[in-house]
Amino acid sequence: MAPTRVTVQQAWDQLVEGNERFMAGHLLHPQQNAARRSELRGSQSPNAAFLGCSDSRVAAEILFDCGLGDLFVVRNIGQIANENTTATMEFAVAELGVAVIIVLAHGSCGAVGAAINQTTAHPRETTPAIKHELEEIQPAVQQEWFATQQISPYVDPDLIDQDAVGRRHLAATINALMRQSTVISDAVARGELGIVGCQYQLDDGRVSPISWVGDLEVSR
What residues form the annotated binding site for Zn(2+)?
53, 55, 106, 109
Instruction: Show the DSSP H helices in the chain as ranges.
Output: 8-24, 34-39, 60-63, 83-94, 110-117, 128-134, 138-148, 162-180, 182-189
The DSSP letter of residue 25 is T
Residues 152-163 as b or e (16 or more Cβ within 10 Å = b): eeebeeeebebe
Of 77, 73, 64, 66, residue with least CA distance to 92 = 73
* Rounded alpha-carbon distances, angstroms, from residue 91 to 85, 146, 177, 178: 10, 37, 13, 14
- Provide the 3-class DSSP secondary structure of residue 111: helix
- Cβ atoms < 10 Å from Cβ of 137: 27
Tell me the binding residues: 53, 55, 106, 109
- Provide the 3-class DSSP secondary structure of residue 126: coil
Give the length of the chain.
220
